[in-house]
Amino acid sequence: MATDLAVTNFPLRLIDARQLEQRYRDVLIPGGILYDHSGHARVLPRYFYEVTSWAQARDTHLSRHFTVSEFIHTDVREAPPLRVFPRYIPCATLLLAFALEQLRDEVGTCVYIGANGGYCSPKHKGTGGASPHCWGTAANIYRIGDTYLDTPDLIRRYASLAHELIPTVWTRPLGDARMLTDDHLHIDLGYVLSLPREAPGETHNLKLAGDPL
């Protein structure tokens, strides 16, 4: 007799963001395009997990030590519909949590993600172009244990550790100019799209292939 090993108790509902109300689609831009600073087009996530309350965000683990709440802690710069629940996180946020877990295990203490330092929508006022924060695959770490990462030496040290532990990870270069960092460690996995098995398949229609929605 076959046993259903595929059953998951992950509490967050999988959402095809193209089916959400217009006000959410306007700010999540599911499957839309953003351009990175080199001018490359990047396709935004279409599938998200729905978070219905702060209690659920706080109680739902994406990895052993990281909860959803740490990735959705944004401020007034986030687009208005996403400042209240339900909130949405791209499915790839799980992969980021797993990557950060490697760092957490190595340092043996808490790794803190700053406000606006987890998932940010494409309409977040701090988002410029195709930031991996819009894919849920970037984290701004401002503190590890009791140490604030606000000096070049500290940022360099933990960036080096991240590279050692997580192959292909990208860390933002140090510096005080735009696009550089001097008060946190930015880690990202790039533009990862995650498609869980339970996600409905694509309906490919050549006539609609160019239609964003």
Partner 1 sequence: MSIRVPRRPPVPSLRSPGELQGRFAELEELSQARSLAVAISDFETGHDFAYHGDRWFHAASTIKLAVLLGVYGAIHRGDLLPQSRVHVRNRFLSAFDGTPFRVRVDRDANGEVHREIGRTLRVSELAEHMIASSSNLATNLLLDLIGLDTLQRTLVELGLEGIDLRRGVEDEAAFDHGINNRVTARGLVGLLQLIGDERAFSPEYSRQMLDILHRQLFRSGIPAGVPREARVANKTGDISTVAHDAGLVYLPGRKPYAIAVLTEWEPSATGRATTIAAASYIGYAALVGDRVDGD
Cα separations in angstroms, 6 against 3, 41, 93: 9, 35, 20
Residue 103 beta carbon to partner 1: minimum distance, rounded to whole angstroms: 16
Residue 140 beta carbon to partner 1: minimum distance, rounded to whole angstroms: 9
Q: Which stretch binds partner 1 (CB under 8 A): 27-35, 68-76, 89-97, 190-198?
A: 68-76
For partner 1, the closer CB: 50 or 182: 182
Strands (E), the chain: 13-16, 33-35, 41-43, 47-51, 87-90, 111-113, 138-144, 147-148, 170-171, 185-188
Binding-residue pattern over the window 181 to 200 for partner 1, x denoting contact by CB under 8 A = -xx-----------------
109 binds partner 1 (CB under 8 A): no
- List all residues 6 or more positions away from 148 whose beta carbon is below 8 Å from its beta carbon: 142, 154
148 binds partner 1 (CB under 8 A): yes
Q: Which stretch binds partner 1 (CB under 8 A): 34-42, 57-65, 103-111, 143-151?
A: 143-151
Phi, psi of 170 (to 5 degrees): -115, 135
The sign of the dihedral angle between the CA atoms of 127, 130, 134, 137 is negative
Q: Which stretch binds partner 1 (CB under 8 A): 49-57, 62-70, 74-82, 94-102?
A: 74-82
Residue 202 beta carbon to partner 1: minimum distance, rounded to whole angstroms: 37
Q: What is the CA radius of gyration of the chain?
A: 18
The C-alpha atoms of residue 176 and residue 196 are separated, in whole angstroms, by 39
115 binds partner 1 (CB under 8 A): yes
176 binds partner 1 (CB under 8 A): yes
128 binds partner 1 (CB under 8 A): no
Are residues 155 and 108 in contact, defined by beta-carbon separation less than 8 angstroms? no
116 binds partner 1 (CB under 8 A): yes
The C-alpha atoms of residue 192 and residue 92 are separated, in whole angstroms, by 6
Contact residues for partner 1 (CB under 8 A)? 73-77, 112, 114-117, 142-143, 148, 150, 176, 182-183
